[in-house]
Amino acid sequence: MASKAQGRLKYGPRKYVGLHLLLCRWLRLHGDGSKHYCYVTLGGTELKDVQGLRFADVNLASNVWSYETNQKRYALAKQTASDLTTYGVTVDLQCASLFSHKRQSQLPHIFFVDLTGICAWGDYDLRFGELFQNEVIREGDCLLITSHLGHHRGLKEIRKHFAGELAVLGVDEDDDGRVRSVYRRAHPTMTLFKALSLNGIQSELHLHCFGMVKYHDVDHTPMGIYGYTVSAGTTELRTLVWDSSTNYFDVNEGRLCSGDSF
């Protein structure tokens, strides 16, 4: 969790190292320098991610929608958004859930679902499922998700919640270390796969995880950011999770790491 002086959320530099590494990889592999992009993100108060994107290229932030459900943070984010107009960035700030976003442009989108919690429990599978089903997130888009790595609901709950996915992945459920390791590297991925499966669209959309980074925030909270491309095709869970072209990075150590040690 970030420090909360005066209600402002102040995230440490490691978060942005992680975000920018993933953006760098996505832009290198999939970005088109001649295109404009839309950016959909979670607000917080400082809109630091929007500022990094603006620095990279103003055309990446042609249209920015930022969602914040917390009223106080929303008010602070409005001030930040107003300051950003000086740099040519207009942020359409909404005091609403990002999951209520309606697609308003045919331009490719970059989604940064910068969660403070865990992208595994609750109804994230349903909510992402709706975004895919309604083509809010669609072919050509980039999806980045932050998820908390510091705690989980226990191995029993992981085995129960992800029983089908662990079976498909061929994970020995009696091997605690293996279950824990697969959960760390793949819980947002398995949640997205559930989202596709719920709507029967895993044969229409292809998800590819191009990279994931782990870092500790200023208060030492362990976090991960997971990056996905969305294209036409099919998604197969084993291929998605065991993809040898997924890169892993440990920002705390400043070096590449393996999927097993993520």
Sign for the CA dihedral angle at 19, 35, 139, 28 comes to negative
Q: How far is CA 241 from CA 18, 40, 120, 148, 217, in A?
A: 20, 25, 15, 19, 25
Using the minimum distance from each CB to ligand SAM, give the nearer residue, 44 or 259: 44
Position of minimal CB gap to ligand SAM: 44
Q: Output the DSSP codes for 152-195.
A: -S-HHHHHHHTHHHHHHTT--TT-HHHHHHHHHHHHHHHHHHHH
Using the minimum distance from each CB to ligand SAM, give the nearer residue, 9 or 120: 9
- Closest contact distance (angstroms) between CB of 240 and ligand SAM is 24
**Cα–Cα distance measured from residue 119 to residue 47, given in angstroms and rounded to the nearest whole number:** 21
Which helix (H) or strand (E) element contains residue 82?
helix 71-84
Using the minimum distance from each CB to ligand SAM, give the nearer residue, 70 or 133: 70
Q: Among 136, 93, 205, 35, which residue's Cα sits nearest to residue 26?
A: 35
Using the minimum distance from each CB to ligand SAM, give the nearer residue, 77 or 158: 77
- Closest contact distance (angstroms) between CB of 75 and ligand SAM is 12
- Closest contact distance (angstroms) between CB of 148 and ligand SAM is 10
Using the minimum distance from each CB to ligand SAM, give the nearer residue, 95 or 169: 95
Contact 43, 66 (CB under 8 A): yes
- Closest contact distance (angstroms) between CB of 127 and ligand SAM is 8
Question: Could you list the residues that contact ligand SAM (CB under 6 A)?
Answer: 9, 11, 41-44, 46-49, 67-70, 73, 97-99, 114, 116
Using the minimum distance from each CB to ligand SAM, give the nearer residue, 96 or 163: 96
- Closest contact distance (angstroms) between CB of 9 and ligand SAM is 6
Instruction: Return the C-alpha torsion angle 6, 9, 10, 15, nearest 10.
Output: 170
- Closest contact distance (angstroms) between CB of 220 and ligand SAM is 16
Q: Among 201, 207, 200, 262, which residue's Cα sits nearest to residue 237?
A: 207
DSSP 10: B
Using the minimum distance from each CB to ligand SAM, give the nearer residue, 67 or 249: 67
Q: 177-206 burial, b for 16+ CB within 10 Å, e for fewer?
A: eebebbbbbbbbbbbbbbbbbbbeebeebb
- Closest contact distance (angstroms) between CB of 177 and ligand SAM is 30
